Amino acid sequence: MKLRKTSFIFLTGNLITLVVVAAFLVAPVWKRRGSGTLHGVANLLPIAAHAAEINPWTLAVEKVKEDRGEPTGKQAKVEIPAQLRHYSDTRRFLATQLAEVKEHQVQTPPDFVGLAAMLSRGELVQLKPVNENYLLFGVGGNANNQPFTRFENGKRISLYNEAGLQQEYDRLAGSQAKFVNEIAGLKLQLSGLARLKSRQRSQRTALQTQIAIAEKALKVDREDRALLDHYYGNRETRQQLFADYDALEKLAAEKLGKLNGKAFDLDNENARQQMKVQMLSSLRPEAMKVLEEVAASYHAKFNRPLPITSLVRPDEYQLELSKTNPNATRIETPPHSTGLAFDILYRYMTAAEQSQVMSDLARLKDEGRIEVLRENRDHYHVFAFVDGVRPHEEFISASLGSTRPAKVAAARSAKSAREAHHSRKKAALAKPKKLRR
């Protein structure tokens, strides 16, 4: 018993000594940092302890953006293989992809409803946000938290179930009443300033601006109400829209819900946005195979995940993206809408890394498995062919006239119209004028 007591005193003494020594070692750090809390101790912990608190995706992002100590992206000096350059006829790049779509009759989703149908049928493969070989870096970055919509003839029709539709009607009614009352009150104030001196002009201008803003908002509400009446007022289209909502809800609860760990709540804004991002993280199996091959090769040599920025994009999403991203083409069938295209980001890659990736892509193009282009905005655009074979030349030639982007076609059409107008005007001026009597 005495021996145990002696041992206990000895161990206790050693422990106290260690604590005192540790305090002296840590105290200068606390003093320098101006903190008497455990903040100083936390900073002394091994890096691995902090890393354990960071999720794998964040760690992968850090790995991708890690400073290499040499130029990266467009600052790096690289030799671009001919396979990744534009053809002499720049239309041929898009025409080849369109030819593949026509030859194999590839269906594209106009909106998230169409994308949901493809996912439900198993036509698309879901990608994880990160794994050992690749990282989804900004995929779905333009996805919003608004209700899902049907995209038809350039119009977006919001999807609701019966309860949600009634709530939207109630919301619009309340919003319209609010703006009507606000406009009436502002106009009353404006009339009171009508006979005041010129120094009151700034107040009148401010009131007129507020009225214009409120009237514009009221107009939007009325247009939204008219759109609901048009599509949900018809029994047949209303039932179809309800069915579309049910299909999304089923996907959110089952297939995507299992991958997410829980069902997505379509009534929740954050959940809707997350669901859209997950849906956009998809590819056709043929393209997925190519992505995995290039990513595995890159990771094996540089021990970094390959950053992927874009996968499938429904036509509706592509249209929105094209407003801010010049690379997002606005042709009738954009390559990304097919689910056969993906983009690789080279912004953070050294010359050696870029050369490795471009070498793999050039080889795959030589094998006839892909179409590829090194874009100026830090991306390699890759398009996988359905059966690993380039489309027939007859399909490519036939597609050359369909590759003109919508905005370019519109500009040329407007130019032609202006030229025709000037020609008519010139011809009219050339005619001899009749003498007045």
The per-residue pLDDT for range 184-226, each reduced to its tens digit, is: 999 988 887 766 555 677 888 888 999 999 999 999 999 999 9
**Angstrom distances, CA of residue 417 to CA of 422, 423, 425:** 9, 10, 12
Residue 257 pLDDT = 77
Residue 191 pLDDT = 82
The per-residue pLDDT for range 275-321, each reduced to its tens digit, is: 999 999 999 999 999 999 999 999 999 999 999 999 999 998 988 77
CATH of 73-148+279-406, one of 1.10.720, 3.40.50, 3.30.1380, 2.120.10: 3.30.1380
CB 368 within 8 A of CB 388: yes
Write a three-state SS string for the chain: CHHHHHHHHHHHHHHHHHHHHHHHHHHHHHHHHCCCCCHHHHHHCCHHHHHCCCCHHHHHHHHHHCCCCCCCHHHCCCCCCHHHCCCCCCHHHHHHHHHHHHHHCCCCCCCHHHHHHHHHCCCCEECCCECCCEEECCCCCCCCCCCCEEEECCEEEECCCHHHHHHHHHHHHHHHHHHHHHHHHHHHHHHHCCCCCHHHHHHHHHHHHHHHHHHHHHHHHHHHHHHHHHHHCCHHHHHHHHHHHHHHHHHHHCHHHHHHCCCCCCCCHHHHHHHHHHHHCEECHHHHHHHHHHHHHHHHHHCCCEEEEECCCCHHHHHHHHCCCCCCCCCCCCHHHHCCEEEEECCCCCHHHHHHHHHHHHHHHHCCCEEEEEECCCEEEEEECCCCCCCCHHHHHHHHHHCCCHHHHHHHHHHHHHHHHHHHHHHHHHCCCCCCC
Once rounded to an integer, what is the mean pLDDT over residues 251-256?
Answer: 89
Of 44-58, 163-177, 237-251, 386-400, which gets the smallest average pLDDT? 44-58
Mean pLDDT over all residues of the chain?
A: 81
The per-residue pLDDT for range 109-135, each reduced to its tens digit, is: 999 999 999 999 999 999 999 999 999
Q: Where are the domains of the chain?
A: 2-44, 73-148+279-406, 154-233
Residue 427 pLDDT = 52
The per-residue pLDDT for range 255-276, each reduced to its tens digit, is: 887 777 788 999 999 999 999 9
Once rounded to an integer, what is the mean pLDDT over residues 387-401?
Answer: 90
CB 305 within 8 A of CB 341: no
Residue 1 pLDDT = 44
Q: Is the pLDDT assigned to residue 61 strictly greater than 90? A: yes
Once rounded to an integer, what is the mean pLDDT over residues 232-257?
Answer: 93
- pTM higher than the cut 0.85: no
244: CB partners within 8 A, 6+ apart: 113, 148, 150, 159
Residue 409 pLDDT = 42
